[in-house]
Structure 1
């Protein structure tokens, strides 16, 4: 498979929206209620993605030139890491995270933080992130994790 990581473009916004919503509906329903999923989805419409492209560095992973995953970096905070369920476990999430970490190291950031879903906590832990605390937004639990960066 021809896998590639690149910066997202405005043309990617509808696909990024579809990826995030599909992943929320399929992967996150084991840990979150339909009401929470519906509320979170509202933050990821194509129009909302276009706004995020102006505020964060958004990356996509492609397989054979089809966008199948996304992740973004907002200063030292990792945001919106989503991989289409049919491509989960193929290393694309790790490739995106390696890209974000490389960007952060080049910028001299001392650490990366991530507000993790319950669903993704073990993924981030496997990459060296450690839990700092839980945050609750109503019934929605988010795990705040961080990872110190080494400058080698």
Structure 2
């Protein structure tokens, strides 16, 4: 497995991984309406390309297969963190988190935080994050519950 920065032309594949994973993995904890707001079925190429140019996510790959990706903001916020639904439980998330922690430490950060899905809570707790509080993100008039979680480096 290789973990590296995103390359030109990968935005669509990353979006597809996010969309499919949200709709297959998170359906146990979220309604169909919440999932559609969270990960719409329509790919908005200009939005995602410009976002990934700005955020420079890390991607985990094996050959040509995209296994997962993660974004780390300048303040230590993990905004997007996804492992392909067919590859969960194989250490990909752990490897991505180790790289995020190393990158955060090299920036002089002392803490990581995220607004995780209810579904992802066990993963983040296993990675040393602590639950702080439940929040609601509002998107297109739909409120989606998320969990604020923090971890010291």
Fold equivalence (TM over 0.5): yes
Within the alignment, does 1:141 sit opposite 2:145 as a pair?
yes
Structure 1 unaligned segments of length 5 or more: list them. none
Count of equivalent residues: 147
Per-residue deviation, residues 60-90 of structure 1 (Å, max 9, x unmatched): 1001232121111112101211111111101
State the alpha-carbon separation in 1 of the partners of residues 45 and 84 from structure 2.
16
Within the alignment, does 1:26 sit opposite 2:24 as a pair?
yes
Cα deviation for residue 133 of structure 1 reads 1.0
Alpha carbons 1:118, 1:142 under 8 Å: kept = yes
Structure 2 unaligned segments of length 5 or more: list them. none
1:1-152 matches, within 5 Å, as: 3-42=1-40, 45-75=44-74, 76-137=76-137, 138-149=142-153
Q: Which moved more, 1:123-132 or 1:79-88?
A: 79-88
Cα deviation for residue 44 of structure 1 reads 6.8
Q: TM-score, normalized by length of structure 1?
A: 0.90
Find the residue that maps to 2:93 and give its secondary structure. Answer: helix
Alpha carbons 1:21, 1:44 under 8 Å: kept = no
Q: TM-score, normalized by length of structure 2?
A: 0.90
